[in-house]
């Protein structure tokens, strides 16, 4: 990745970590071929940062809309990075898989679309990694995050974006 693209990626990550969200609904999705390969559909909303008090629901809706304006790209990119980092090959995709690989700005831009007024990132496989992640951000500050065959890992990504430390195996 060029140094310019890397710097843009860092700025997007920084922006993505500044976005605060609330989980509205959580739905487990069974994969069509194998019920053990479940995923999630999360409905999210951009919200004020903790500690910032909002007096009315109308103010919260305005914060959500404003956050979508400045934070949507960074939030989506950060989720793309987390999804890529934890993705593994499946079946024939092992041929393209490289253990030491990075999610690139081009990977993000290539899969970004505006669909019926919603900003959409949709990734199936990237260089041998089974991503299976779809993110929709609406102008009103609501988000749909959907994964297939990834279990409940999307909840972990959201915790990581909040800066919560997760336990890891010490070797």
**Cα–Cα distance between 97 and 103 in angstroms, integer?**
13
Alpha-carbon torsion (7, 8, 9, 15), positive or negative: positive
- Give the pLDDT of residue 70: 97
Cβ burial, residue 62 (10 Å; 0-12/13-18/19+):
middle
Q: What is the pTM of this model?
A: 0.88
Task: Using CA atoms of 60, 111, 13, 43 in order, give the dihedral in degrees to the nearest 10.
Answer: 30
pLDDT digits (tens, 9 = 90+) for 18-44: 999 999 999 998 876 666 678 999 999
- Give the pLDDT of residue 152: 93
Q: For residue 160, give Cα distances in angstroms to 17, 23, 138, 166, 169.
A: 9, 14, 22, 8, 16
Q: What is the pLDDT along the chain (171 residues), one digit of tens a residue?
A: 678 999 999 999 999 999 999 999 999 988 766 666 789 999 999 999 875 655 556 699 999 999 999 999 999 999 999 999 999 888 776 777 788 899 999 999 999 999 999 999 999 999 999 999 999 999 999 999 999 989 999 999 999 998 876 555 555
- Give the pLDDT of residue 35: 63
Number of DSSP helices (H) and strands (E) in the chain, helices first: 4, 6
Enumerate residues 6+ apart whose C-beta is below 8 A from 157.
79, 82, 83
* Cβ(40)–Cβ(28) below 8 Å: yes
- Give the pLDDT of residue 53: 57
């Amino acid at each position: 990745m060029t140094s310019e693209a890397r710097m843009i990626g860092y700025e997007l990550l920084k922006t993505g970590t500044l976005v605060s969200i609330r989980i509205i609904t959580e739905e487990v999705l069974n994969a069509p071929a194998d019920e053990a390969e479940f995923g999630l559909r999360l409905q999210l909303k951009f919200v004020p940062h903790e500690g910032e008090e909002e007096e009315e629901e109308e103010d919260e809706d305005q914060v959500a809309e404003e956050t979508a304006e400045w934070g949507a790209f960074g939030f989506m990119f950060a989720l793309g990075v987390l999804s890529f980092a934890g993705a593994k090959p499946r079946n024939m995709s092992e041929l393209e898989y490289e253990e030491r690989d990075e999610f690139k700005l081009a990977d993000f831009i290539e899969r970004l679309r505006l669909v019926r007024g919603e900003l959409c990132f949709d990734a199936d496989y990237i260089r041998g990694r089974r991503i299976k992640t779809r993110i929709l951000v609406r102008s009103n500050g609501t988000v749909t995050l959907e994964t297939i065959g990834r279990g409940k890992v999307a909840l972990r990504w959201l915790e990581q974006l909040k800066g919560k430390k997760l336990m890891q195996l010490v070797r």
